[in-house]
Amino acid sequence: MKIFPSDKIEITTSLSLEEVRTILTNNIRQKTGVIFGSNNSKNTKLFEGSFEQDRFEIQRVITGRNSFLPQIKGHIRPSMNGTKLIADLTIHKFVIGFMVVWFSLVTISLIFGSTSLQTNPIFLLVPLIMIAFGIVLVKFGYNIQKNKSISDLKMILNGKLIHKNSI
């Protein structure tokens, strides 16, 4: 079972490589800080990050903060009938590092609690519940935002998702 979700997608479109470049350039802004409150109507760009030499590192523009927002790294290339976008969706490396430390500390407390002779077995449920909660939180938070990110990419490119798998 994979604790940290990630996906690889391929989206094809009948648009030319130059048209896709223009669309991505017009829909990606430079990364900014966290925005609280209502979404500003001046911002019409769906993604933030960078797009250079047919490679991109982006994430969806959202209001507030979501640590499980997929980081999308990929590239575009010409295909027989238009253009193909190939991307990997992952969780931010800082979040993975934080969750590894968190899971490690909870696991250590579970091990020490289980080896202690005077520990009531009911108290061992707390670390197990914390581990299960962490796994569900990561997967749920990522999957909701992943689907929105893929839908937005398909929409702006007028493309079709031809390949999606967990890596």
Number of domains composing the chain: 1
Q: Are strands 47-52 and 28-29 parallel, antiparallel or unpaired?
A: parallel
Q: Are 57 and 90 in contact (CB under 8 A)?
A: no
DSSP labels, 76-137: EEEETTEEEEEEEEE--HHHHHHHHHHHHHHHHHHHHHHH-TT--GGGGHHHHHHHHHHHHH
Within-domain flag for 11 = yes
In a domain, 96, yes or no: yes
Rg of the chain taking only CA atoms, in angstroms = 20
Whole-model pTM: value is 0.83
What percent of the chain is predicted at pLDDT more than 70?
Answer: 89
69: containing domain? 7-162
Tell me the torsion sign for CA atoms 145, 150, 153, 158.
negative
Q: Which helix (H) or strand (E) holds 160?
A: strand 160-166
Whether residue 127 is contained in a domain is answered as yes
* Average confidence score pLDDT of the chain: 87
- For the segment 143-161, what is each residue's pLDDT rounded down to a tens digit? 999 999 999 999 999 999 8
Residues 81 and 15: their CA atoms lie apart, in Å, by 8
Asked, for residue 67, whether it belongs to a domain, the answer is: yes
Digit-coded pLDDT (tens) for 133-146: 999 999 999 999 99
